Amino acid sequence: MSKKIILIACLLSNAVFAAAPAQQSKAAWYRYYDSRGVANISTNVTPNHIRYGYEALDQNMQVIKRNQPYNVEADMKQAPQRAAQAQLHDSDSKLKRAYGTSNTAMLKKKDALQQINKQLVFQQEQLKQLQNDRILFIRQEREHFRKGEAVPAQLKTTLSNNQKNIVAKKESIQSLQTSYRNTAAEYDRIIARLKAME
């Protein structure tokens, strides 16, 4: 019976001693030295603690941690870097919410490029038709020239409109090609960023 009591007492004392360092490591006081070297102690951190730098003390007034004084110039120099990091973090969070994984982004890239490609094919077919129509209109115009006849006003208007439509269609195709390249590049950037986070 006495052996059991001694064993329990030993276990309890070990538990108390093991817990004691954890309790002592918790800061109870904060001390800073002002410009005159006078020590100031409080139970919480004040702006002066941050300004002069301070020490975190345990219940026995032993130093746990030293904190350097706040440096305005260093902080201002680091501000752009912190802002860039915050912006990158915000951007990464948005990407994660929007796509989840790089595989999802790859699927969305494929869909987006297929849609643009469909529009491109349609516009190119229309351009081809306009160019074929132009060949016919020019043949009609040359036939009038060959016969020495004046070209009808309606044919002139049709040729003019046809030319404008061809120019507009080419511009539309160029715009879609640019959109295709930009979309592919943007998705490549998103996918690379997502892969870096995975």
Distance of alpha carbon 105 from alpha carbon 112, whole angstroms: 10
| Per-residue pLDDT, 61 | 87
| Per-residue pLDDT, 165 | 96
CB 140 within 8 A of CB 159: no
| Per-residue pLDDT, 88 | 85
Distance of alpha carbon 194 from alpha carbon 188, whole angstroms: 10
**What is the three-class DSSP state of 32?**
strand
Q: What is the pLDDT along the chain (198 residues), one digit of tens a residue?
A: 444 444 333 433 444 334 444 444 688 899 999 889 899 999 999 888 888 899 999 988 899 999 888 887 887 888 888 888 888 888 888 989 999 999 999 999 999 999 999 999 999 999 999 999 999 999 999 999 999 999 999 999 999 999 999 999 999 999 999 999 999 999 999 999 999 888
Question: What is the signed CA dihedral for 65, 68, 69, 75, rounded to 10 degrees?
Answer: -130
| Per-residue pLDDT, 155 | 94
Residues near 117 by beta carbon (within 8 Å), at least 6 away in sequence: 180
Predicted model pTM: 0.56
**What is the three-class DSSP state of 66?**
strand
Length of the chain: 198
Q: Which two tokens stand for residue 75?
A: 């902080």
Nearest residue to 131 (alpha-carbon basis) of 166, 157, 169, 161: 166
Q: Which two tokens stand for residue 174?
A: 């160029």
